[in-house]
Structure 1
Amino acid sequence: MELSVGTKLHGFAVQKITPLPDIEATAYEMIHEASGAKLFYLSSKDDNKVFTIGFRTPSQDDTGVAHITEHSVLCGSRKYRLKEPFVELVKGSLNTFLNAMTYTDKTVYPVASRNAKDFRNLVDVYLDAVFYPLIGENPFTLRQEGWHYELGKEGDKPLLYNGVVYNEMKGVYSSPDAIEEHEVMKALFPDSPYRFESGGLPSAIPQLTQEGFVAFHKKYYSPENAYIYLYGDVDIADWLDYMDREYLSRFPKTGTLKVEIPLQAPFDQTREVKASYPVPEGDDTAKKTYLSMNIVVGSALDQKRIMALKLLTHVLLDGNNAPLRLALLRAGIGSDVSGSLNGSQLQPVFSVEVSGSDPDKEDQFVKVLYRTLQDLSRNGIPRRLLEAELNSEEFKMREADFNIYPKGLIYGLNVMETWLYGGDPTACLRFTDCLDFLRSAIDKGYYEQLIESVLLDNTHKCLVTLTPEPGKEARDAEQFAQAMAEKKSQMDADQLKEVEAIADELHARQAAPDTPEALVSIPLLQRSDITRKNDFEHPQVTEAGDHTHLVLHQFTNKIAYFDWCFDLTGLPEDKLCYAYLLTDVLGKVDTDDYSYEELTTLADLYLGGLNFEVKPYSRYNDTNTYRNVFKVSAKVLEKNEDKLFDILSSIALRSHVEDKKRLKEIISEVKTDWDNNFFARGMTVATLRLMSYFSKSARSMEHDQLTYYQFLQDLWAHFDEKADEVAANLKALVPAFFHQDAQLQSLSCDKDMEQEALARMEAFTAQLPHSPYAGKAMPVLTAPGKNEGITTSGKVQYVLAGGNFHDHGYHYTGAMKVLETILRYGYLWTKIRVQGGAYGAGTRFDPSGTFYLSSYRDPKLAESLQAYRDLPDYLEKFQASDREMTKYVIGTISLVDTPLTPAMHLEKAITAQMKGTPEAIAQKKRDQIIDCTAEDIRALAPLVRDVLSDGYLCVVGGEGKIQENKGLFEQVIKA
């Protein structure tokens, strides 16, 4: 139907229409007149449809009520009276995105699907959830998702808190970054809702009452406060009718609901904050302080200025050529510098942070910061830096590659950044207008004016010094235990029985299955709705001597994707960590032709990306048969291909990797990044450490995780005596990385670009030397150990167990992929997340033989391992109706069929080539998924039992919890 301004249809009135040629869409802004709900519809030919409903939800305290509400509305509603409709959707829909997110001042609920019937099902469950949740009639929702009391099982049964959000936020606040961010928001916004932690502080979450919880939803979850976003190829008349008839018309607007986000008045002078974060008792505190300057930069409604500030943030602080970053590093204030502009709130915040510092560097930090900004403001920002960042942004806009996320989803989240505050929702989608403004601003001195007016003269800022405090976690834990003991002592016997009774009833509810009547309320597709043919990539593969050429033709909008896999088969084990270090060094040291700052500028000016990695590819059916490669990936517009090969040749043939002064700087930055983010990487660390016990290919990959971190710690501690050794090793490795021997050369582009691009690849390779490791045998790597507990200052754990099912004579089938879905959103979800309070749990079966079970941000340890051990018994008795199995199959296919970008299509083709995956095997696996039965799942019980009997486990987590369970480990390692 043709819509025009003033059109009224199914209760909606069209207020504004904006063509958006940059994203091949048209925007329609509408209002639902009866309810007051606002609709932003992006009409597009994209079949990956997206729906989002958002609400302004400013916090009034630190209880995390907005976050808990986000979890809880998806735990049963008027039409869908299940314990967790969200989980049922994940199990059995073809969604391409399904989640919900809490921000500082808003909560959003996005869904996406390419299947029209599935899309409507998803939207209906979400709309019923936000407008008609069961939270008022079921107090156990708050107890499960927020918090409840429990009595411990050990000793005198200590009184404890448990709950999904409570444990999630304990994990979040295990990071110094989260502690610092909260201090920043409190300091900058003392009179605004932004001073509160919308996710919830663990200390405050137990203050949330059922009455306050219900009142929050009643106040904010109204169509009058709703912002609805709809994107893609949809029948808009049908959708307007549906939303009006089923939901919006039932909520007449009151005219009294005013949800305002008040502006924080600026300060007269910079505020200073001193805070601390926990490190283990006895830790050296030198070079572990964080220093940051944080500045409120105006209003999100001034979209052009915010876009300019985002660009300025990248120019000043991102990359090896960023002047403010370089000035702070060269002044020796810290070992790493980062910056950000938080634009997802009404008053965005610019931040610059130095990590790896000391408290006595605070004054110097401020002086260097201001002196550098003053110099740039007075003498000008180098033009090429601004142009390079603009070109980089233009490339991203043209490519529209958001990895696994639908582009309509990203457009919608960006729209919310202005729309919810009364701004123009199309501002962020008019790319050409934005780029024209940003480019024209260079010649007007606009960026220099921003530095002066926003970053220098503006006093609405705070200086935060966050120092390490040894033993703080233990002292906090002791104080918490004493407070809980005092609280328990004030309870009489009846009250303690009530605590146990409520916890027991909660666990009973969690363990009880949903009724058949409730389950069938969730709409379900049929297996016949699934495309049976596997979407196998069919690249053109040819041999040219030692080289294999792989070409994948696809429309790429004149972008060429290049990829080289240089064989590293003979690389010795003692060179592996150096190999991973070299990937962190390449492109970040001078070459004969360019300084490393110039290299970064050239890459931003002309390329869309240039990445280096060492990667083992195992045989598709054997994790112990693999080959290591050095992988180079690049993307570039056709017109700039010559620039790519100029840059790449300079890096490959003329890099100064022996520059010891620069190496020390890089090692310091990389080690500091690991110091700051080790706990956040805990899942990957634990997974690869576990796999290294039984997988040779994982043993190689693990050299880029805990082993690499330990390697960096040793290099940093002894760099002066090891500098020559480090430089010599890296220099010797360069010809092992860039060589003309066995390799896979891959290309994806428009067909008319192929011949010239391939010729450039061959010309580049022809100038390279022979590899010093050519023809040498693959080394046998040493297993690091077995069953390790890796301690951190975190308050929760990552708990893993697994093994190699090939070692027990089993072979991969598609039923294993279905079992992943069953366990992730069934058995493990109930045992580990719902009952145990972990943020998440999962499993992985790989055709190469790997199988493992995992928990994420888990307050438990031994209990989770016991749940893993009980799994074979569950599988032996597994029962599921045909409808239930269809649900699991559809949910599995949803993950298998994630829409791919051009770069992802190429990577999929490369992986199949390197692993030797036959198309027939891939098709067989898909057929087994679609045809999977409950009997196929039961048949996997012996496999799981045999693998778990090997007893492999690995845990990354809090020192206290690991020490409590040290008898489970052969070795406890301090991270």
Structure 2
Amino acid sequence: MTLAINAVYHGFKVLQAQFVDEISSQAYIMEHIKSGARLLYLANDDDNKVFSISFRTPPADDTGVAHILEHSSLCGSRKYPLKEPFVDLVKGSLNTFLNAMTFSDKTMYPVASRNDKDFHNLMDVYLDAVFYPSFYQNKYTLRQEGWHYNLDSLDGELSYNGVVYNEMKGVYSSPDAYLENEAMKALFPDNCYRFESGGYPDAIPQLTQEKFEQFHKTYYSPENSYIYLYGDMDIDATLEYLDSEYLNSFEKTGTVDSAIAEQQPLPRTADIEAFYPVGAEEDCTAKTYHELSIVTGKATDLQTSMALSLLKSTLLDSESSALRRALMDAGVGQIINGSYTSSMYQPVFSIRASGSEKDLRDKFISVIYKTLQDITINGIDKKLLEANINSMEFKLREADFGGYPKGLILGIGVMDNWLYDGNPIEGLCYNKYLAALREGLKTNYYESIIENYLLDNTHKVLVTLLPQPGKEEADQEAAAAKMSAIKARMSQEELQQHIDECAELHRLQATPDSEEARATIPVLKRSDIRQEVEKIETQEEELGASHLLYLPRNTNKIAYTSFYFDITDIEAEKLPLCYLLTDIMGKFNTERYSYQELATNAIMYTGGIAFAVRAFTEAESTDNYKIYFSTKGKCLTDNLPKMLDILQAIALESKMDDLERFRELVSELKTDWDDNFFNRGQTVAITRLFSYCSAGARVNEQDEFSYYQFLKKLTDNFDELAPQVLEQLRLLIKCFFQKNRFLLSYSCDVKEQAAVRQQCLDFISKLSDAEAGEKAEILPVGTVNEAIATAGKVQYVAAGGNFAKHGHKYVGAMAVLETILSYEYLWTKIRIQGGAYGVTARFELNGVGVFASYRDPQLPKTLEAYQGLAEWLRNEEFPERELNKYVIGTISTMDKPLTNSMRLDKATAQYLKHVPVELRQRIRNEILQVSNADLQALAKVVEDMLSDGLICVVGGKQPIEANKSLFNNIINA
């Protein structure tokens, strides 16, 4: 249906219509006349439809009201009076995306689905949630999602609890959060960006029900909304629905003031020194951060914004980046990186040194200014700029967003302009901006931007963030003292009131929704689901002992190539070296290229090259595995010779003999782990636990916590160990690239297949031969039941085991049980009642399983919840309607749309793990036919699995020490 400009459709007036070549979409900007709601519709033939409604929500304090409101809006509404309609949707929807997000100045509620009925259902639940939430009637919503006093008896310990409260405690377990918070407070002393929209943990308990409701009344109205639609849909019916069901009930008042105030420039660079908590005994060497953050114009200046993003990449992102190189050479930090944040009215350009020292502050800032001044005088590296423009264009045209719907990412992107009263279509028309960026290569355009925005601009802050030994313990003691003082000031009546309110909250949380309430959520039928498993049609070819796997796809002239080399004969003690090698390959000089030239060529001619080592365990086996070294790349087919030339230089010509370069790389890797360890907590806990259960998992765990330990040892003893390690790495790279034991998996347009195949085989022909050795000895199981203690304020608690060794095989009902546990029993016990941010259940095809919490304030209570799971499952009887939901939700997870690169990875993994289509079809049939009896039979599987008694916890030192009897080993991270 074509919409005419100035015509009115169901109350919506069409203000602009324009075809956008870059995304092959007809764009319409509309306004709902009565309510004032804005609407952007991108019409195209994509069946993965997206809906989003967003509100401009500038915070006025640090209580996190916008964030808590985002959570709370999805806890019941007028039409859907359940405790958590959002969770019911996750259980039983065919969605391809379902979430909500709080930004520094807006809140977004996006959904996506390929099924028309499902898409309408998702829209309706979300619209009812944002306009008619039930938290006005249910005062316990704020207590659950935000904060409440936790007290179970008069002589019990008083504490705070709440989902967002615990989530933000987890966020502020990372120095990154402290650094960003300090920078924003200094840069924006007069507008909303100085506040923590997610909520600062100490401030969250200041939020009252009255302020909570007032924030919703102020900002959640149609005239403050931005509605976004994308994809192949009946737009006439959709507009009629939006008007009749929701928008027609509201009148535009003109009184909503949500505009983001412009922050006037600072008269001089602000200079801030701040601290973050570390343990009393922690070594603080190289734990300081320096960051220069600069406010750079307006988000609505799209050309400048794109140029600044390009400059960030050119100056800071690669081995050949001038500013990064200058700072690394000056020794001011072990990691140099930067960011450009455009999702705010006044974007911020940041330069950061991690792994630094306090006394390097002046050197950090002087090197930045000197390097930038040199660039403005002598000129910027135009080849690297051109390479980054090519990379930017490649990413825009490929539109591979890692499994997220294309329409979702476009919808988030248009808000960078639309939210600040710009034209949302403008940012989608990127060809003219790319052309201007290329034209700028001929002039001093980039040097002028550096001069105007980065040098001659006083709107800056220099933040130095220092570790404070003992602050972790001091903060915990201060928090305990504060709670004791609060409790001491309360009367007996007040204490009893909090006890009663806690008990009532727990009662409400434990009470199931009524059948009547559940029936309000629309549910698809099992018959709405495709019965057959999706077959990824590949063409297999044998070349002696090697294999080729071709995936025919319309890839828009992009070639995706993956070379897998079998290294199963590698000795176990060399595995950490294998993972180190994948991290530093391509970062040394070669016979023909410096490592800077390699980096520039990779950016210029490819969409990325990555190296990895991974054990692939055969389906339905815990110990039959093979280890592969892989190198994956993607590029335009015309550039494939260039990409293979880069691989040849890395594989056959690397000169890994520079000890100081090696020191720099190892320090950077170790510092990155230091900076992000707590954010990796759940992955560390799960992979460590799996390593107790499976030989293949023990191999893969060598790339997680064991790798971090290896990096720490190498860093601490570098002068002693480095020469020997480098020699071993030089030998390993020769072992990796062997032409008689490879798998080539590749995907491209059919007409390009012959050329791509031959060019890849020409590359392989240049490699050497080697006889494959025997499979190396399986890594033995080390100490089990470990705790990894950090400076974090919350935990990641994992428990699991090997159900295969108890005689159980993987069945489709396990996939359904994952959905049930993640959003029913574990969700209720651990997130709703325990206050954790999240929880997951996983059963693997090879016979291992795990339950794991995320940002969890509890530890023994979570383990108790896991232990109660089998008995709950044994006695639970799900109504047919609920069972259908779980089946649909499970299939939804399995049937997410795949990008071309994801499809190739999936086909390759199925090939290497020996997962035939017959096995996948059997599992799908079992999911579609699952019954209560099938699920109840899994109680024995869970019981046996947990009888192994295996746990792993990553978390705060204090709760781990308080429960040390649970562990055989406590390790300080």
1:406-555 matched pairs, under 5 angstroms: 406-555=405-554
Partner of 1:103: 103
- Determine what percentage of the aligned residue pairs are the same residue: 52
- Offset of residue 26 of structure 1: 1.1
Name the CA distance, whole Å, in 2 between partners of 1:428 and 1:685: 39
Partner of 1:961: 959
- Offset of residue 825 of structure 1: 0.5
Matched AA of 1:806: A
Q: Deviations over 1:535-556 (max 9, x none)?
A: 0212001111011110010100
Partner of 1:634: 633
Name the CA distance, whole Å, in 1 between partners of 2:876 and 2:656: 57
Partner of 2:943: 945
Matched AA of 1:87: V
Contact 1:16 1:28 in 2 (8 A): yes
1:892-911 matched pairs, under 5 angstroms: 892-911=890-909
- Offset of residue 2 of structure 1: 2.3
Matched AA of 1:27: A
Matched AA of 1:808: H
Quick one: structure 1 residues 821 and 944, their matched pair in 2 at CA, closer, same or farther if it must change by over 3 Å?
A: same
Contact 1:585 1:657 in 2 (8 A): no
Partner of 1:611: 610
What is the DSSP-based 3-state SS (H/G/I as helix, E as strand, rest coil) of the residue aligned with 1:622? coil
- Offset of residue 771 of structure 1: 3.7
1:752-771 matched pairs, under 5 angstroms: 752-771=751-770
Partner of 2:284: 285
1:775 counterpart = 2:762 = no
Partner of 1:79: 79
Contact 1:35 1:248 in 2 (8 A): yes
Contact 1:338 1:352 in 2 (8 A): yes
Q: Deviations over 1:298-350 (max 9, x none)?
A: 11011110010000001011011111111001001111111000110001100
Partner of 2:804: 806
Matched AA of 1:867: A
- Offset of residue 445 of structure 1: 1.1
- Offset of residue 158 of structure 1: 1.4
- Offset of residue 521 of structure 1: 0.3
Partner of 2:924: 926
Contact 1:536 1:922 in 2 (8 A): no
Matched AA of 1:163: G
1:35-434 matched pairs, under 5 angstroms: 35-151=35-151, 156-434=155-433
Name the CA distance, whole Å, in 1 between partners of 2:152 and 2:516: 36
Name the CA distance, whole Å, in 2 between partners of 1:26 and 1:965: 60
What is the DSSP-based 3-state SS (H/G/I as helix, E as strand, rest coil) of the residue aligned with 1:405? coil
Name the CA distance, whole Å, in 1 between partners of 2:640 and 2:284: 48
RMSD: 0.9
Name the CA distance, whole Å, in 1 between partners of 2:722 and 2:414: 50
Name the CA distance, whole Å, in 2 between partners of 1:799 and 1:230: 39
Partner of 1:678: 677
- Offset of residue 152 of structure 1: 6.0
- Offset of residue 657 of structure 1: 2.0
Name the CA distance, whole Å, in 2 between partners of 1:530 and 1:798: 35
What is the DSSP-based 3-state SS (H/G/I as helix, E as strand, rest coil) of the residue aligned with 1:121? helix
Q: Which of 874, 877, 880 is matched with 1:882 structurally?
A: 880
Partner of 2:564: 565
Matched AA of 2:757: L
- Offset of residue 255 of structure 1: 1.7
Quick one: structure 1 residues 911 and 393, their matched pair in 2 at CA, closer, same or farther if it must change by over 3 Å?
A: same
User: Which consecutive residues of structure 2, in runs of 5 or more, have no partner in the other structure?
Assistant: none
Which piece of structure 1 moves more, 425-434 or 414-423? Answer: 425-434
Q: Deviations over 1:254-313 (max 9, x none)?
A: 122221100000011000111001111122212110000000001101111001000000
Partner of 1:581: 580
Would you say how many aligned residue pairs link Structure 1 and Structure 2? 973
1:694-705 matched pairs, under 5 angstroms: 694-705=693-704
What is the DSSP-based 3-state SS (H/G/I as helix, E as strand, rest coil) of the residue aligned with 1:272? strand
Name the CA distance, whole Å, in 2 between partners of 1:707 and 1:837: 30
1:599 counterpart = 2:598 = yes
Name the CA distance, whole Å, in 1 between partners of 2:558 and 2:333: 39
Partner of 1:860: 858
Partner of 2:842: 844
Matched AA of 2:187: L
What is the DSSP-based 3-state SS (H/G/I as helix, E as strand, rest coil) of the residue aligned with 2:852? strand
1:824 counterpart = 2:822 = yes
Contact 2:689 2:951 in 1 (8 A): yes
- TM-score under structure 2 length normalisation: 0.99
Name the CA distance, whole Å, in 2 between partners of 1:196 and 1:255: 26
Q: Which of 785, 788, 792 is matched with 1:787 structurally?
A: 785
Q: Deviations over 1:839-869 (max 9, x none)?
A: 0001100111110000000000000000000
Contact 2:152 2:502 in 1 (8 A): no
Q: Deviations over 1:32-51 (max 9, x none)?
A: 00000000000111000000
Name the CA distance, whole Å, in 2 between partners of 1:610 and 1:62: 42
Name the CA distance, whole Å, in 2 between partners of 1:654 and 1:278: 45
User: Which consecutive residues of structure 1, in runs of 5 or more, have no partner in the other structure?
Assistant: none
Contact 2:152 2:499 in 1 (8 A): no
What is the DSSP-based 3-state SS (H/G/I as helix, E as strand, rest coil) of the residue aligned with 1:939? helix
Q: Deviations over 1:602-640 (max 9, x none)?
A: 011111111100011000111211000001111111111
Q: Deviations over 1:214-267 (max 9, x none)?
A: 110011000010000000001111111000000000011112222110000001
Q: Deviations over 1:365-402 (max 9, x none)?
A: 11101000001111111110100000001111111100
Name the CA distance, whole Å, in 1 between partners of 2:192 and 2:313: 28
Matched AA of 2:82: L
Which piece of structure 1 moves more, 539-548 or 658-667? Answer: 658-667
Name the CA distance, whole Å, in 2 between partners of 1:917 and 1:743: 19
Contact 2:307 2:437 in 1 (8 A): yes
Name the CA distance, whole Å, in 2 between partners of 1:172 and 1:259: 27
Name the CA distance, whole Å, in 2 between partners of 1:345 and 1:2: 33
What is the DSSP-based 3-state SS (H/G/I as helix, E as strand, rest coil) of the residue aligned with 1:230? strand
- TM-score under structure 1 length normalisation: 0.99
- Offset of residue 780 of structure 1: 1.5
Name the CA distance, whole Å, in 2 between partners of 1:442 and 1:644: 24
Name the CA distance, whole Å, in 2 between partners of 1:852 and 1:722: 37
Name the CA distance, whole Å, in 2 between partners of 1:493 and 1:6: 66
Matched AA of 1:734: I
Name the CA distance, whole Å, in 2 between partners of 1:654 and 1:542: 29
What is the DSSP-based 3-state SS (H/G/I as helix, E as strand, rest coil) of the residue aligned with 1:200? coil
Quick one: structure 1 residues 258 and 806, their matched pair in 2 at CA, closer, same or farther if it must change by over 3 Å?
A: same
Quick one: structure 1 residues 880 and 8, their matched pair in 2 at CA, closer, same or farther if it must change by over 3 Å?
A: same
Contact 1:554 1:750 in 2 (8 A): yes
Name the CA distance, whole Å, in 2 between partners of 1:658 and 1:699: 31
Which piece of structure 1 moves more, 586-595 or 438-447? Answer: 438-447
What is the DSSP-based 3-state SS (H/G/I as helix, E as strand, rest coil) of the residue aligned with 1:308? helix
Partner of 1:33: 33
Quick one: structure 1 residues 910 and 87, their matched pair in 2 at CA, closer, same or farther if it must change by over 3 Å?
A: same
Contact 1:152 1:160 in 2 (8 A): no
Matched AA of 1:647: I
Name the CA distance, whole Å, in 2 between partners of 1:326 and 1:739: 34
